Amino acid sequence: MDFSLSKEQQDIKMAAREFAEKEFPQVAQECDENEKMDMALLKKARELGFVGTHLPEEYGGFGMSYFEKALITEEFWRMDPGVAQSILSVTFGSEIIVEHGTDEQKKKYLPHLIQGNGIIAGAITEPNAGSDVTMVETRGVRDGDEYVINGSKMFITNGTLADIIILFCKTNPEAESRHRQFSCFIVETDTKGFEANKLKNKLGIRASDTAELSFSDLRVPAENLIGNEGDGFRQILTLFNRERTAICAQATGLAQGALDQAVSHIKQREQFGKTIASFQAIRFKIAELATLVEANRSIFYRACWSLDSGQEDHTLIAMAKWFCAQNAVTITQECLQMHGGYGFLNEYDIARFYRDCKILEIYEGTKEMEKQVISNAILGKAN
């Protein structure tokens, strides 16, 4: 067992760190306040090769492993979760095209995400279908060489920015198994019948766009169906595993960033004639939090390894996602506490991290859903 990073992996991590340290602090506060991503920064990140790293080389990507991608995610989230998410999420959903799309679909849609200005969104959640994705009501009905789509989606990252959307909808309500009723399509957002409205005033990751979408009699060519009718549920499960490991990296980066801020603050701030860092209660707290960050790192490395080695472990990934997210929330709360009243001011980064961390326990499966996956694996499904 070798836990060390290769020279190439160390270089990827350091390059991501340097870029984030140099660029993110300048824009983080403003992006948060204005709820906008910085398009110039996205362009720079693309030029430097930080976007779409997991995409195959033949389609313009770098063919990096999920672990290497996670190293970039961790470093970006350490400096600013909102800015990091706004940059790295622009390829969210592309994994479904990579793993289940045809050559034509890959050639048509993937290179633009890296070399062009392309942005993709993955649209699964609906107003009445969140944790239970089988409640999805958006319909895709075949009509000659096209499908007609009607319905709506909720909380879609990059919804108002994306030029293509991976749409999860119901095509086969008659299928006996609920899991065979759904399909995924590639939808171009300049198609008639598409509408996106930005959801404003989010608690955290405000630089990242979130929207509600509607589809009314929108026509998609049948060639934009991914795989076969009825494959959609299986396809989004593979996407969840990839994104959940990414969220472990997000959580670890965010927690490390919060800890760095706390360490810096307590070394400067003096009370009772000494720095706060000299009080044992605080020192022990730092020891505990640093240990939790390392525990996060260990389990997320292992979750990535399960993906990259072809031994995808659904239960381990659910464990890692729940554990890393929970630790990130705990760590960030304690790190804000060490800032005292200053942590309560929005001009301090820790206040923003505190708002940002909560999303980790909600998206890509809430913490309760992760525990359901884990307990089902141990105990079998409850009747």
Ligand X SMILES: Cc1cc2nc3c(=O)[nH]c(=O)nc-3n(C[C@H](O)[C@H](O)[C@H](O)COP(=O)(O)OP(=O)(O)OC[C@H]3O[C@@H](n4cnc5c(N)ncnc54)[C@H](O)[C@@H]3O)c2cc1C
Q: Please say if 364 is a catalytic residue.
A: yes
> What angle is formed at CA 33 by the lines to CA 333 and CA 361, rounded to 5 degrees?
35
Which value, in Å, is the radius of gyration of the alpha carbons in the chain?
A: 21
Minimum CB separation of residue 325 from ligand X in Å reads 12
23, 74, 364, 370: the catalytic one is 364
With CA atoms as reference, report the closest residue to 79 among 30, 26, 23, 20: 20
Residues 200-259 that bind ligand X (CB under 6 A): 202, 210
Minimum CB separation of residue 243 from ligand X in Å reads 9
Cα–Cα dist 2/13, whole Å: 18
What length does the chain have?
Answer: 383
Binding status of residue 72 toward ligand X by CB under 6 A: no
Residues 146-175 that bind ligand X (CB under 6 A): 155-157
188 bridge partner residues: 164
By beta carbon distance, the residue nearest ligand X is 130
Binding status of residue 369 toward ligand X by CB under 6 A: yes
DSSP state of 345: S
Q: Token digits for 356?
A: 């940002």
Query: Could you tell me which stretch among 51-59, 100-108, 118-126, 274-282 binds ligand X (CB under 6 A)?
Result: 118-126
The nearer residue to ligand X, 38 or 243, going by C-beta atoms, is 243
Question: In sequence order, which residues have a C-beta less than 8 Å from that of residue 79 and are 6 or more positions away?
Answer: 20, 21, 24, 25, 28, 257
Number of residues that bind ligand X (CB under 6 A): 18
Binding mask 339-368 for ligand X (x = CB under 6 A): --------------------x--xxx-x-x
Residues 122-141 that bind ligand X (CB under 6 A): 122-125, 130-131
CA 28 to centroid of chain Cα atoms: 18
In the complex, which residues of this chain contact ligand X (CB under 6 A)? 122-125, 130-131, 155-157, 202, 210, 359, 362-364, 366, 368-369
Question: Could you list the active site residues?
Answer: 364
